[in-house]
Amino acid sequence: MFTSVEAVSRLLSNFVFDKVLFWL
């Protein structure tokens, strides 16, 4: 089972990663 912190950090990192790839 995922913890709230782990889920949030994963979603946040995915969002940031998508934005970085988009701007590259």
Question: In this predicted model, what pLDDT tens digit does every residue of 1-17 receive, in sequence order?
Answer: 568 999 999 999 999 99
Give me the sign of the Cα torsion angle 21, 22, 23, 24.
Answer: positive
Alpha carbon distance 2, 20 (integer Å):
25
Query: For position 1, what pLDDT does the model report?
Result: 58
pTM across the whole model = 0.51
Question: pLDDT at residue 21 above 80?
Answer: yes
Q: Is 12 exposed, middle or buried (0-12, 13-18, 19+ CB in 10 A)?
A: exposed
Query: For position 11, what pLDDT does the model report?
Result: 95
Give residues with Cβ within 8 angstroms of 2, minimum separation 6: 10
Query: For position 23, what pLDDT does the model report?
Result: 85
Query: For position 16, what pLDDT does the model report?
Result: 94
Alpha carbon distance 15, 4 (integer Å):
16
Query: For position 2, what pLDDT does the model report?
Result: 64
